[in-house]
Amino acid sequence: MLAARSRPSSILLTHRRRLTQSARNSGFIRCDVRFFAPTPPQHARVCSMPVPADRHDLTSTNHSFNRLYQRYATSTSGSSPFARLSKSNDDDMEKRVNQNGRDNNFRGSSSFQQVSHVPDSSNEDVFDSSDDNLDNIYMHSPSSYYEDQENEYQLWHDDKAAEYQQLSSATDELLTPSPPSSTADVEAILELMQQWNHFLSGITPELYALSDFRKLNPQYPPSEFISTITYDSATKTQQLLSHLFNRNTKLSPDLEVTAYKLAMEAWSNVFHSHSGDKCEEILELFGERFGGDMNYMPSIASYRTVLKAHGKSCSSYMNDGTTSPGENALGLLNLLSSLYTAGDLFLKPDVEMYSQTIEVVRNTLLDWQLRRRLDMNGALERELANGALNALKQMKLLMDEEKKSKKEGEGNQRSLEQWNCVIRAYSDALAIASRLDTKCTPEQLLQEMEAIISSNTANITDSFEDSDLDDSITQCTIDEMQRNVEHAYTNAILSQIPSNNEYFADFNVAMGNAMNSDDIFQRMKQRSLEAHPGTAYLFPHPTQHQYAALIRCVSECLRNRYSTSESNRAMAQIGEFPHVKASRLLNELEQIHSAKSDSLPIDGSIYSKVLWAWCQTVNWESISRQQKYYIAANSMRDILRKAMDGYERGFVSFSQRGDGTKMFNFAFRFLSKNTSGGKNTAGRSIELLNEMEHWYNQSEGTLAKPDGFTFSLILKTISNSGDISSASTAESVMARMDSFGIVPSEKHYLGLMRSYSRIGRNDVLDPHKTEAILHQVKKRHRENGSVKPTTALYSACISAYAGSASHNNMSKVMELHNELSDLYATTNDPAFKPDSKLYSIVLDAIAKVKDSSALSKAFQLLDEMEKRFDAGVIDEGPNRYAYSNLLHSISQSRVPNSVILAEELVHRMESRATELEDDSILPDKVTYTTLLQVFSRSSQPDAIERAERWFQRMEQQYEGGDIRAKPNKITYTAMINCWWHSGRPNAGEKAEQLLQRMEKQYEEGEFDLKPDSFAYGSVINAWCRTKSDDKAIRAWELYLRMKTQYAGGNMELKPNNIIFTSIINTCVHSRGKESARQKALKVLVECMSEMKTVDYISPTTVTYRTLLSAVGNVVENEAKRRPLSATIFQRCCRDGQLDKTVLETLQRVQPELYLKLPFVNERGSVREGDIP
């Protein structure tokens, strides 16, 4: 039973008269349902009319129109009160979100228009934000349909306003102080009421004819024009009814009934939150007047009119504490069922009644974007939802009962409209069940609907052929029936994905639900193929709405939060990756639409969903293994261009303004994830921005407008490139923001600072540039407060100094740190609050200062931070990243006792984490990996044994369930480096065994152990340090493995000059036995041949110098050595790599060749300026 939220209605009291005397005598008590109606509405006009004392005033005097949406901002001049245009509902919807927060808890996504998700966190750093939130970044306003601003809407508004004025003038003439005294007066009033009804009933179909969006989204909130003109028109009709019932007017019962019905019908066409209440008030008066008269009392049709009025009020219902339309509808249905059970056979609920009730509940629970929330705990929602499903169950029982009672041989008993009501009921019930937890699953409802359609196809077809309605009305009914079937499938597919801000438990659940969605989609397709051509409206082929729903379900499997080692192994076994399937479905949809000349354009949001799927692939190693990065980037670019070209041809439309921007931003996000793309990736982002600006200009500013997030992603891509021109490129991008009306925020300045600080990658060239940007932000903050010099900006500036070998100094670092601390102390603004990340960067910067005392001062600062935190002076103490940075500094310092210092620091972390019961301080894989790097740089004899013990401890902790200690490829590479620097005879063998372990585990699905060129290079270097005769051959074999995997698409194993030089270096150290020298010579010849055939090796001065050294060490015979040395020297000169160091090597290896050079004098010396 629905809980009361307002006053009880008097309808129950009115219709007690309808109960038969036998029902009363049998002890029947009022139906077991409480039907409540909202508080009396506030009306649009003051309408005080003289009425008889024995009649109710139908106009409720002394009330003013409560304009619920507060959207009446401006109006144009003119005599008509409607000579103004409606605003979009965007501002109002945003106001509602901000004022009451209700929209932030809306659930689900529309079957017709997909809704953007609410961001999980507004404070998320755009450069580090999770891809889980990518589809949540955009909280666009609900619609970009500025329908009343279009010319056709203006003309339609003008026509409606003129028609209203004409009817209003005629009404005012009839509303004279004297009551109607003749039959002609009465007929004139009734005729005018009919004209008002004709006017009102025409608004909805005319609006649908103007807008496909309105047609597909009937619950889209009404504009000011529609709401006002319909409300005022019904008010005029009600004034005529009140005037008609003046005490001196004597009417026949037939005319009275007609008048009541006309007034009720008028309110049933009003888009206003209280239209149902107004219609209900008239029904109450109607029932009081004729409740005991079996000839004239309200019939079931009158109750359906009230339901229709409640349905119209759904789009304006504001959840303001009054009884919702859905509660009213269920209450009315329960009332009729009780009255019928008590003996009133004239009020038996029929199929239309059940269908209308379910529709009102659906539109109450789920607004046009399927996200309305009535209460936070969901109790009322579930009660309404289960009430609607119970109504569906009762409708099914009624149909079964009628089928059983049907006489043998009797023809079809149900009309086409009734069959449409049946299908619509299931479609609406599916919409409810797909978004809310109900006792009946969407799959069950869909199967029921399919069974009803399949078993009654002949009956529905007969009702179509036997219909006596106008052909156009019949066709409209058929079209609506087809749409209802389509919507049912759409909702059934969408039921397989979680509601807003909710996710699946894991990848397996997501994949299972995607497969269920695909089964529903394929079933719909198969039923359409098997259907008779004349029944296509009952068995429609999937449209773009079903394709969009399936693409969304399939793409959901790629969400970043589902990517784990286990799920990557499962993903690798899938025959068709989700993003590939999404693209295939899109291509299939495009082919279908191309073959239909009369089809609606494809919604651009579908392209956006496919691009989102491609964007997510960077989080899946199993996909990256088989898909080259730039192939994916090119595929995304092609999808994007296809969408925009389709838009230009009218093949694609964008129903929401943000969709074009979202598409481009997904492509930008994908590019920003490439940290090694260099200038190429940065250039792609600029090219993409140029395309985006082109379409923005082409659409006159309505499509693909770059936003702040766009520029944040571009700046991130540029900063990742590390190219020498990245800073100037970032500056030019920042300058372009102004042309789009975007004011740079802290995040944009952060991107610009990183563009400067990452030039040179490992050595920041000029950190003063980043400090100048910080000063610029501080100046803007002082002038107008538009941006703040946040902790992140200070951290970036300090990090730039820390990364500069020539400009880092302790005084500058502490100056910036103290400046921020003072700023926070004076303002208490959280934006300036020092955090753990800042402490980590400060410690790292101090420890990197080229000062013998820097490391000890870093430890002093760490001690001070711990003490200040323990004393409560600061809110955040050093976390594991601060300690790890200090460990890294130890590894760089090369102090004699580095191993002991590093191990003591790790033990310090463990004891402090235990003392404070703070797991954020416990060592993780980064800590342990950094510790291994300390061992790899140590000259201590037992460093390799210590490293082995810590590495084994890591593995044991991980196997014991500590996920933080899981070794990754950097950990393995650090351990390989330990063997490289160990000087042990078996270093090469041990290092390659570690590499093989990495490769084996990677093949088994541990994708974070994917070997890269650094790991291979370290193994080659480890072989170089051994005395094995085969070391040159083993190094060359490693290169061939890299080359093969790179050719297969593994971009991380692209050979480079460093790898090539390391291989040659193994030949340099291949001395001793003749067999070792012969193997090294063979590798040298292969290297020289490879240098001519591959494009990823660009020999440098170091390469040629090492080649000459290798020849000198490997080839003892001077006659054999001379041609090899000459060939190497000629190539060096041809490539422009000749310098003094190469000449010195040539002089040592082949002195006679050196002395013959024209720029070498008789003393064997050469001036540097003489070198060509």
| DSSP assignment string, 479-534 | HHHHHHHHHHHHHHHHTTS--TT---SSHHHHHHHHHHHHHHHHHHHHHHHHS-GG
The band of 677, judged by pLDDT with boundaries at 50, 70 and 90, is low
pLDDT score for 151: 73
Under 8 Å between Cβ of 194 and 240 = no
Q: Which residue has the higher pLDDT, 1037 or 835?
A: 1037
Mean pLDDT across 291-301: 87
> What average pLDDT does range 744-768 have in this prediction?
84
- Quick one: average pLDDT of 409-423? 80
Q: Please tell me the distance from the alpha carbon of residue 879 to that of residue 923, in angstroms, as a whole number.
A: 10
CA distance 433 to 440: 7
CA 722 to chain centre: 29
Residue 407, pLDDT > 70, answer no
Q: Which residues pair with 36 in a beta bridge?
A: 8
**Would the pLDDT of 338 be above 50?**
yes
pLDDT at residue 845, rounded to an integer = 85
Of the segments 220-224, 605-609, 894-898, which one has the largest average pLDDT value? 605-609
Would you state the pLDDT for residue 235?
95
Whether residue 352 contacts residue 418, with contact meaning beta carbons closer than 8 Å, is answered with yes
**pLDDT the model gives residue 316:** 81
For the cut 80, the answer to whether the pLDDT of residue 15 exceeds it is: no
Residue 94: band (very low, low, confident or very high) from pLDDT cuts 50, 70, 90: very low
Q: How confident is the model at residue 154 (pLDDT cuts 50, 70, 90)?
A: confident
Q: Which candidate, 352, 328, 361, 254, places its Cα nearest to that of 38?
A: 328
Closest among 784, 879, 786, 893 to 841, alpha carbons compared: 879
**pLDDT of 949 higher than 60:** yes
Say how far apart CA 89 and CA 214 lie, in whole Å: 14
Confidence of residue 284 (pLDDT cuts 50, 70, 90): very high
Q: Which of 72-76, 493-497, 610-614, 975-979 has the lowest mean pLDDT?
A: 72-76
The predicted-structure confidence for 506-515, as pLDDT tens digits, reads as follows: 999 999 999 9
State which H helix or E strand residue 288 sits in: helix 275-290
- How many angstroms separate the CA atoms of 1145 and 75, rounded? 88
Calculate mean pLDDT across residues 213-221: 74
pLDDT score, position 249: 67
Is residue 144 over pLDDT 70?
no
Three-class SS state of 1124: helix
Give yes or no for a contact between 231 and 65, defined as CB atoms under 8 angstroms apart: yes
pLDDT tens readout for residues 679-717: 888 999 999 999 999 999 998 888 999 999 999 999 999
Lowest-confidence pick of 79-93, 926-940, 1013-1027: 79-93
Q: Which of 127-136, 424-433, 953-962, 1083-1092 has the highest mean pLDDT?
A: 424-433
- pLDDT above 70 covers a percentage of the chain that reads 84
pLDDT at 66 exceeding the cut of 60: no
Give me the pLDDT at residue 687, please: 95
Residue 34 confidence class, pLDDT cut points 50, 70, 90: very low
pLDDT in tens, 176-214: 777 776 788 888 999 999 999 999 999 988 888 887 777
Q: Do 336 and 407 touch, CB atoms closer than 8 A? A: no
Confidence category of residue 93, pLDDT binned at 50, 70, 90 = very low
Compute CA distances 545 → 38, 40, 383, 523, 660, whole Å: 36, 40, 29, 15, 18
Listed range (313-322, 740-749, 1064-1073, 1087-1096) with the worst mean pLDDT:
313-322
- Name the average pLDDT for the chain: 82
> What is the distance between the alpha carbons of residues 284 and 299, in angstroms, rounded to a whole number?
13
Mean pLDDT (whole number) for 763-775: 88
Give the three-state DSSP class for 8: strand
| Orientation of helix 1074-1093 relative to helix 1031-1047, angle to 10° | 20
For position 246, what pLDDT does the model report? 76
CB 585 within 8 A of CB 576: no
268-282 burial code (b ≥16 CB/10 A, e <16)? bbbbbbbbbbbbbbb
Q: What is the pLDDT, as a whole number, of residue 248?
A: 64
Mean pLDDT of the 54-82 span:
30
On the question of pLDDT at 502 being above 90, the answer is no
Ranges 382-396, 470-484, 803-817, 1047-1061, most confident: 382-396
What is the Cα–Cα distance from 975 to 994, expressed in whole angstroms?
Answer: 8
DSSP string computed for 1010-1035: ---HHHHHHHHHHHHTS--TTHHHHH
Rounded distance, CA 908 to CA 902, Å?
A: 10
Residue 656 has what pLDDT?
Answer: 78
Q: pLDDT band for position 1039 (50/70/90)?
A: very high
Q: Which range among 107-121, 351-365, 939-953, 1061-1075 shows the weakest confidence by mean pLDDT?
A: 107-121
pLDDT at residue number 911: 94
Looking at residue 853, its pLDDT comes to: 78
pLDDT band (50, 70, 90) for residue 868: confident
Per-residue model confidence (pLDDT) at position 762: 62
Query: Which whole-number Å values give the CA distances from 399 to 406, 418, 448, in the listed order?
Result: 10, 11, 13
**Separation CA 547–CA 493 (nearest Å):** 10
How far apart are the C-alpha atoms of 388 and 623, rounded to whole Å?
Answer: 44
Confidence of residue 910 (pLDDT cuts 50, 70, 90): very high
Q: What average pLDDT score do residues 1003-1010 get?
A: 85
Least confident of 201-215, 588-602, 1070-1084: 201-215
pLDDT at 23 over 90: no
Output 1101 or 33, whichever has higher pLDDT: 1101
HEC assignment per residue over 908-940: HHHHHHHHHCCHHHCCCHHHHHHHHHHHHCCCC
> Among 269, 285, 287, 267, which Cα is nearest to 277's?
267
- Where does the pLDDT of residue 132 fall: very low under 50, low under 70, confident under 90, or very high at 90 and above? very low
Examine the pLDDT at 128 and tell me if it is beyond 60.
no
Are the C-beta atoms of 42 and 66 separated by less than 8 Å? yes
CB 658 within 8 A of CB 703: no
**Which pLDDT does position 141 carry in this prediction?**
34
